[in-house]
Amino acid sequence: MKVKLFKEVEGKMEKKKYQISLPVSLYEEIQDTADKNSTTATNLFRKLIKIGLWLLAESEMENEIIVRNKKGEETQVLIY
């Protein structure tokens, strides 16, 4: 299933800003992950937030969420 990450309005993405404080370790993990994926921390945050919102919506509908790694091993994701 493909999830559209961003809603475009008249060809441009509508934007609002949030400012958040993070523990240094989390900030560094986000920046390292963004660097490894050749993206910016801002773009990584956008993707992670959208994925998180989708997971929450699916869990509210009582859908089972299963994540499968490249080896085919499955993990059930439970969100409370």
Residue-wise pLDDT for 7-62, tens only, equals: 555 566 677 788 889 999 999 999 999 999 999 999 999 999 998 888 888 888 77
Q: Which of 32, 22, 38, 65 is nearest to 79 (CA)?
A: 65
Helix then strand then coil, in percent of the chain rounded to 5, is 40, 15, 45
Counting other chains too, the contacts that 55-59 makes at CB distance below 8 Å and 24 or more residues apart are: 55/79
pLDDT of residue 20: 87
pTM of the model: 0.66
Q: What pLDDT score was predicted for residue 1?
A: 46
Residue 5 has pLDDT above 60, yes or no: no
